[in-house]
Structure 1
Amino acid sequence: MSRFVHILVLLNFALNVSADKNDWFSTIAGMQNLIDVENNFLSTLESYIERMQMSLDKIKTFKDIMRKDVIPAVSDPEVYIGHPINQYALIKRFALKWSRVGDLLDGYSRKGNETRAQYHDAIKMLPNGDDMIGAAEAIARVQSYYSLNMDDLTNGSVKDVTSPSLLNSKDCFRIGKSAYTNRRFELCEIWMNKSLNLYVEQKEITRDNILSYLKECKKEGVNQTMNINAFLEDKETNEQESSTVGGTTTEQTDNEHSRMITTIEELSELTDKARICNGEWSVPKHVERNLKCYYYTNNGHPRLVLKPIKLEELWNYPHIVRLYDIALESEMEVIKELARPMLLRANGASSDGFGKIKYRISNTAWLDDKDSLSVKRLSQRLADVTGLTGRSELLQVANYGMAGHYIAHFDAMTREEEDYVKSLKDQHTELSNITEDDLFDEESNVGSADNETVGSTTQQPDDRNKNYEYGNTGQRIATALVYLSEVQMGGSTAFFYPKIVAEPIKGSAVFWYNLYPSGALDKRTLHAACPVLIGNKWASNKWFRELGHEFVRKCGVLQNAENRIF
């Protein structure tokens, strides 16, 4: 039984990384620990077979089948877990295959029953049906964003990077169902057709099941397109009639109008984001000729004179730059290790309230300069380069999950959001404590470390970033996005206004101002995180606040005076 104790210890560690037992798909760092757990499951079964000294043919057969799947994972876990089909297969093995082991152990001796009980205690903490849904949505997302060939994908190949795992008819059916649930009917049709092509007689699904969904996908897809076209054609007419009559619309009409606007905006954003993430737009020649690369010292800053920063201009208006080698290799490793046990699923607002969201698939943690010299040095280096030495937030560290992404957003608030937060503060309810971080889809968590020792952090209440609540330190004046890992494919940062992507180059930071010098939001900074295709993406955000920078960025003559860094 000692091996099961070892598994439970591993699970406790893995859960610290995953943060939520039902959200394994949302962090690659957590999923990588599943490989160790899975390998120990296999070793446990081997010991069990020897110890029982009886015929366990069914269990041994199951073990042999699973061993074939696990060998490539154990041989190189980091490479294995970087492939989306492997990620899907790993979740699938735990959610659908390992869950059956308990039934195989029924009917044997008392030791078998004890092992079964311990096994079930462990399996409760591992991937389940909810993770399968998240994994299915991730495969649909990467296929859609990067226009992956369906034949290659189902055969385990993504941009010539292969996986030993394949997608069968049942997998395609599951992915198609997830697309239908999310009202992506064109994707549903693609995956249901593929499920039909791969279909072989089986118990789980029938050909009629597939055909039924395929019919619904086509019908709903046509209806959605017709509704959008009709809505766009009638929108101007309806607005004119409403203003002329002076009447009011019904609540139902308002709700339908709101839903249609949301659908159109979501589909439009998905299209634009996919095109930008795929690099379909290039920097125009007249812009490119004015972009420069050079060594930067921020007007002779003492620390930068000795070691200038390599700076590359990515765009002029708004001014977006990349700072190379801003984080050292040793610092990045310490930061990631400190963040691992504190990672929590990134939450946000949705129609269901505040909680888990599908538009941001990552886990985040917050690190204070006091946690480590590595954190402090990175913060100091960013302050030296930018000249922003006033108030700034803690360092947010993010690890992205399967096809991890984040929809288009601003890092600072719009005027409407500012007014909304202010109104909440005037209410004497539990909502009056809402922070700006709630609106920015972040969930704070805290840890502390006295030195560079990894693993010395401890869990604290979720109010670590409370000092940065709007009204205390002002808006997020600027963003420094630091890439902490190499990402083989995908995972870039897409900027919608210039239609450019910043690739996730390890050790570099992309920097831009969110506000004009006047304090008004620069809406040209709308950006998003492209889905991770191959690899494990780690990144960190350093947000600089208005407080303490009043004399660093003075207002220009015009309200929207150009937003340049130097």
Structure 2
Amino acid sequence: MDGWRWLILTFLALQGIGFTNTEYYSSTEQMIDLIALDKELQIKFELYIYKELEHVQALFRVLRHVKNTIPAISETFISNPLTAYKFIEMLINKWNLIEEHISQSPSLEFIEYLDMAHEMLPDEEDLFGVALGLFRVQEIYNLYPEDVIRKMSAATQLSTDDAVLMSKVAYRNKNYKIAYMWLNETFKRLEKGDAAEVEVFELARLLASSSFIQGHVQLAIDATKLILEHDQHNEAAWFQQLEYRIHQITHEADPKVDPREPSNQSYQAMCRWEANRLSPQRQKMLFCRYSNGGGNPHLIYSPMKEEDEWDNPRIIRYHNFITDKEIDHLKKVAKSKLQRSETSPNIISNIRVSKSAFLSEEDQGVYDVTRRIEDVTGLDMETAEPLQVANYGIGGHYSPHLDLLSKEEEEIRHGNRMATFQIYMSDVELGGATVFPTIGATLKIQKGSAVLWYNLLYSGEHDVRSLHAGCPVYLGNKWIATKWIHGYGQEFRRRCSLSELD
């Protein structure tokens, strides 16, 4: 009845007929009006059915369209920054299209459900977030747009309009180097005859600005010529070209520098494995061995495989530290708790792009892993922080940082973070390495292994050599678990020194 009531009221409203203070039985004339209304309702109802049939047919056409345009989705597919970008773009476009058609239907129940579900779907912010992750990967790994495109699935091709959007997002975020690269890619496609919705003169404006900032003044002048060919009365372009010409006359010639030339910064170069300072001499000082944790009864019959990754400061890798079954359990426990990682309490920044969750030792699997950390390191876990599981997204990274607390946090949390124990819970196809820029060490992600390093010297002073970073993930799904071990309670487990240099 409620559905019929809604339908009748709707039709009556369309006819300008209301029920306010109306008594049909007391007026023949109004009864005659009801006869007319009944006929009108039958006509409207018939039209409604035909429109609903047309609507259903339109929905089937939309369904066939979205089915035919969806590629086979896999973890590998969405771990690629560009295919992930296309995937999110596809989700946004697909569900916007469906919502647009559904909203024309009287099926309010599904519309209400769709409204609730809409909050769970990606939006423009997600789309741009993936784009920024891609730019981060391009910068650090020195990737041309064609390198990125080559990694795309055959089912998902990058259109010229996609390249335009990439350049615009990069320009909007003042990443002029990346904007320049994608603009070049766009113009190459246009020269081949590819179609694009954007006007060339609009791209020329972005190219002129980004080229000039990159030091390519002549290219900036040529770009403004394209603008003026389209609009000779564009005063902004005339003044811009004049500025570029004056700069060209009063400054030295453009340096012959490829804007795609990789950065020489230690962190970025190490992520590309170009600045690893593991010399043959240092390599000779590194050893592999079986360790029972100094006679720990849990390791006597099943010693841990240890490998020196670095000698000074010492970085140790433990092979086969955790099983695949334990990894799956930690992931399962963490997934429902994952939230955007913070760089410090209540502070979220692009310095750290990942989601993480602290796990309680009330869970037996978490407890077992923590006890094993204590066994292999010989350190007390009583004052350590809960195990933190982190998952890195598209271009996910953690810029160079020290695992140290502020004075205020140190007093609250049982001393500073003396040591970091990091467990690798996945392999990463490309990128994601842990690097130590100050000393030049690069650690490969190796599923099932774990690494230990110290953030404090024996004297308790900060060891600045422990500066480290998580390189951006290019391809793959990076999962890690971290245990920060505090100084309190370690007095009889790690010897102290009176020298500030030790």
TM-score relative to the length of structure 1? 0.66
Deviation at 1:346, TM superposition (A): 1.1
- Cα distance in 1, alignment partners of residues 171 and 265 from structure 2: 18
- Cα distance in 2, alignment partners of residues 269 and 147 from structure 1: 8
Alignment of 1:115-514 (within 5 A): 115-154=110-149, 157-158=150-151, 162-199=153-190, 200-203=194-197, 205-222=198-215, 271-282=265-276, 283-348=278-343, 355-370=347-362, 372-389=363-380, 390-413=382-405, 417-418=406-407, 421=408, 436=409, 470-514=411-455
Q: Is 1:110 the counterpart of 2:94 in the alignment?
A: no
Amino acid at match of 2:265: T
Q: What corresponds to 1:37 in structure 2?
A: none
Q: What corresponds to 1:20 in structure 2?
A: none
Q: What corresponds to 2:18 in structure 1?
A: none
With over 3 angstroms needed to count, the CA separation of the structure-2 counterparts of 1:341 and 1:269, relative to structure 1, is: farther
With over 3 angstroms needed to count, the CA separation of the structure-2 counterparts of 1:487 and 1:268, relative to structure 1, is: closer
Q: What corresponds to 2:463 in structure 1?
A: 522
Q: What corresponds to 1:100 in structure 2?
A: 97
- Cα distance in 2, alignment partners of residues 268 and 549 from structure 1: 43
Amino acid at match of 2:425: L
Q: What corresponds to 1:229 in structure 2?
A: none
Deviation at 1:560, TM superposition (A): 1.7
Deviation at 1:318, TM superposition (A): 0.8
Amino acid at match of 2:137: V
The alignment of Structure 1 onto Structure 2 pairs a total of residues equal to: 403
With over 3 angstroms needed to count, the CA separation of the structure-2 counterparts of 1:501 and 1:68, relative to structure 1, is: farther
Alignment of 1:18-37 (within 5 A): none
TM-score relative to the length of structure 2? 0.75
Verify the 8 A CA contact 2:160 2:195 in the aligned structure 1: no
SS at match of 2:427: coil
Render the CA deviation track for 1:438-472: whole Å, top value 9, x for unaligned: xxxxxxxxxxxxxxxxxxxxxxxxxxxxxxx5344
SS at match of 1:304: coil
With over 3 angstroms needed to count, the CA separation of the structure-2 counterparts of 1:330 and 1:539, relative to structure 1, is: same
- Structure 2: which 5+ residue stretches go unaligned? 1-50, 217-260
CA RMSD of aligned residues (A): 2.6
Amino acid at match of 1:212: R
Verify the 8 A CA contact 1:269 1:408 in the aligned structure 2: no
Deviation at 1:82, TM superposition (A): 2.6
Q: Is 1:64 the counterpart of 2:50 in the alignment?
A: no
Alignment of 1:4-43 (within 5 A): none
- Cα distance in 1, alignment partners of residues 385 and 496 from structure 2: 23
- Cα distance in 2, alignment partners of residues 71 and 178 from structure 1: 25
Deviation at 1:527, TM superposition (A): 0.6
- Structure 1: which 5+ residue stretches go unaligned? 1-50, 224-266, 422-435, 437-468, 562-566
Amino acid at match of 1:279: W
- Cα distance in 1, alignment partners of residues 357 and 342 from structure 2: 12
Verify the 8 A CA contact 2:306 2:318 in the aligned structure 1: yes
- Cα distance in 1, alignment partners of residues 354 and 427 from structure 2: 16
- Cα distance in 1, alignment partners of residues 418 and 85 from structure 2: 39
With over 3 angstroms needed to count, the CA separation of the structure-2 counterparts of 1:202 and 1:56, relative to structure 1, is: farther
Amino acid at match of 2:420: T
With over 3 angstroms needed to count, the CA separation of the structure-2 counterparts of 1:412 and 1:141, relative to structure 1, is: same
Pick from 84, 87, 91 the counterpart of residue 87 of structure 1: 84
Return 163-172 or 399-408, whichever deviates more. 163-172
Q: Is 1:78 the counterpart of 2:98 in the alignment?
A: no
With over 3 angstroms needed to count, the CA separation of the structure-2 counterparts of 1:183 and 1:354, relative to structure 1, is: farther
SS at match of 1:195: helix
